[in-house]
Structure 1
Amino acid sequence: MKTLIWKGIFYQSLEYFSLQSDNKNYTAKSKIIGCHKANIYTVEYRILIDKDWFVQDFLIKCEINTIKRIFSGKRNQNQWEINGVVNSKFNNFKFIDISLTPFTNTLPINYLNISENNSQKIDVLYIDVLKHQIRPVQQQYTRTAVNKYLYENIENDFKAEISVDEMGLVTSYPELFEKIAEN
């Protein structure tokens, strides 16, 4: 369906990404390689997403400075099983945000379908791959133009205006990511 490459500016990375579709779901698959500060890393992820853009499950395999780790999550109705354990602090969360990729911004952008000059707050499972943490965060998306969104991380006041294509995939995320190729 779609294949592209993102360049990570802040995380000094390249990401080879593909999005496939069937009658019921989207499947996002990706491979990332990069270095950030003292960390040399590789990441492979697979995310199963329903047609409403809700994450159904994810698997993230990473290696950071030769240390291998896995993050896994499966949504069962409104509960999340994270690395094999049901975690109630993520109940009713529909989205994940993986620190090293702009793809996970596509999920709420496509689901929320916000009209111009409107905004929406959401709760997200934030997966910080380099720190090996999963935690709840609150984010807000404001549609500023047809293909632009103001992204805000409520807990740390981080803001960025991101540009997306017609599929909601990030084309520019200032100082963090740029799409450099697509097929």
Structure 2
Amino acid sequence: MEKTIIWKRLDDTGMEFCTTTLGERTEIDGKVIRSEPGERSFVDYHVACDALGNTREAVIRYVRQDNVQTMRLQKDDAHRWTLDGFHLPEFDGFTDIDIGATPATNLLPIRRLRLQNGESRELTAVWVRFPEFDVMPLRQMYTRLGECEYEYRSMSGYTARLRTDREGIIREYEGEWVEKSG
């Protein structure tokens, strides 16, 4: 099954066109455009997961004015991560990627964890930060509040409610993103 969604930033600084393929493997392809004071940027990304919903690869291209950067993160069967072919031992064992420029990657732990109402689970994701365009570990917690509602909490103190469709695709990311209708 393939679903396409267009999100807009609630502060009117950007939009995203995202296609999610759900089935034997999960894949996410997105294009984020942002225009903020002093910076205009474009993020083009592709995330591929295995049949269990574990991130296998993320390829990200980040364009700012005249600067173009890319990164390729990969994870092998032993959950060892590499960045552009170089091993990142501090990320070994992590399951998910969190691309900070998009709400799309929140789908991955939501689908993989299959939480029951009221249940919470903590994890550490490989977080791609913007505008730094680097990677860091990010401890997170997901709590299922209802059939299509979750609380996302990073251990830095940031919290947001996520409203999803039945497949776990984000429709509203509190305070940040909302699906653009018709």
Say whether the fold is shared (TM-score over 0.5): yes
Paired residues for 1:134-149 under 5 Å: 134-149=135-150
Paired residues for 1:34-113 under 5 Å: 34-77=34-77, 78-113=79-114
In the other structure, the counterpart of 2:178 is: 178
Count of paired positions = 180
In the other structure, the counterpart of 1:15 is: 16
Cα distance between partner residues in 1 of 2:39 and 2:100: 14
**CA deviation after TM superposition for structure 1 residue 25, in Å:** 1.6
TM-score w.r.t. structure 2 length? 0.93
Structure 1 stretches of at least 4 aligned residues deviating more than 4 Å after TM superposition: none
Letter in 2 for 1:8: R
**CA deviation after TM superposition for structure 1 residue 17, in Å:** 0.7
**CA deviation after TM superposition for structure 1 residue 10, in Å:** 4.5
The answer on whether the counterparts of 1:123 and 1:137 sit within 8 Å (CA) in structure 2 is: yes
**CA deviation after TM superposition for structure 1 residue 116, in Å:** 0.6
Structure ranking higher in strand proportion: 1
TM-score w.r.t. structure 1 length? 0.93
- Seq. identity, %: 22
Cα distance between partner residues in 1 of 2:147 and 2:59: 32
Is structure 2 residue 4 aligned with structure 1 residue 3? yes
**CA deviation after TM superposition for structure 1 residue 20, in Å:** 2.5
What RMSD in Å do the two structures reach over aligned CA positions? 1.5
**CA deviation after TM superposition for structure 1 residue 21, in Å:** 4.4
Cα distance between partner residues in 2 of 1:181 and 1:3: 12
Where relative contact order (Cα < 8 A, 6+ residues apart) is larger, the structure is: 1
The answer on whether the counterparts of 1:43 and 1:62 sit within 8 Å (CA) in structure 2 is: yes
In the other structure, the counterpart of 1:116 is: 117
Structure 1, gaps ≥5 residues long: none
Letter in 2 for 1:146: E
Structure 2, gaps ≥5 residues long: none
Paired residues for 1:151-162 under 5 Å: 151-154=152-155, 156-162=156-162
